[in-house]
Amino acid sequence: MSGDKPFLVPHSSSLIPRPFTLVALDLDGTLLTDDLRITDRSQAAIRRARERGVTVLLASARPPRSMRRYHRELELDTPVVAYNGALVWDVEQSRALFHEPLVPDAARALVAFLRQQHPELNISLECGDRWYIDDLTEEVRRSIERYEVDPPHGVACLEQVLADEAEAISKILFRGNAQTAERLLASLPPGLAERLHITTSGDWFCEVMAAGATKAAAIEWTAAHLGLGESRLLAVGDSPNDIPMLRAAALGVAMDNATPLVKEAANVVTASNNEDGVAQAIERYVLGE
């Protein structure tokens, strides 16, 4: 549209492949505005893309339970990629289609290390679509209200969960940013770091999954599961946890509000999440408008 900001194109736009058959969208800071809405323009662009046969996936650090409302709002029929790719979840049947949990002894070793080195952390475990946390603080209560999610399934019980072999740990998370993740990776005991994938979502959470669990790998699995064959992927994101899918995509699109590292990993930069950046990317590169 005439009032849109111009795209920043680090690489030659003549190299941009078309047509795209698969679109993967991050949620927070990407598809969602700062007040956690999907704009009418983004909804319309997604609807038009689907009408042309394009498959649309939501790929987030979030758990399935807090992705469900947006999946239904968009009337999608695809699975969601949750926990940065550690889990692919069938929303309608509430079941895992693909799960790459942390190796149990690696999860226990990491939590023990954090307890010893960073006792101030309020650690959470995500297991499938269940959530356990050390302490239900006022900050956590505000987050539950803001994001409209259910309260944790258990409080002050992490050691019991870790000891239960039936509980597969999808993700370990705690407050932190990119610097936190770098320091943690550098300080881990020998042999532990290579068993983990440590990343961040925004400047809020440091998140730990199994080594190899990324949005890129989960999207590839989901495309095969859906029988999409040699799909051309357009991926849009804003945070370090989006970098693997931006690099794996035929076209990686960073939001204008993304960090410099994310923009460097992308092929193009669109407008911010508050300026219909996702809609602009779909309109321009998928719909050819």
Provide the annotated active-site residues.
26
Q: Is the dihedral of CA 71, 75, 80, 84 positive or negative?
A: negative
Residue 28, SS3 per DSSP: strand
Q: Whole-angstrom Cα distance, residue 72 to residue 203? A: 28
Contact 279, 39 (CB under 8 A): yes
Neighbouring residues of 65: CB distance < 8 A, sequence distance ≥ 6: 129, 149, 150
Contact 266, 30 (CB under 8 A): no
Residue 89, phi then psi, degrees to nearest 5: -125, 130
Identify the CA nearest to 132 among candidates 103, 105, 106, 111.
111
Contact 226, 218 (CB under 8 A): no
Residue 175, SS3 per DSSP: strand
Structure tokens, 48: 């038009």
Burial class for 157, CB neighbours closer than 10 Å (0-12, 13-18, 19+): middle
Q: Whole-angstrom Cα distance, residue 115 to residue 284? A: 48
Residue 287, SS3 per DSSP: coil
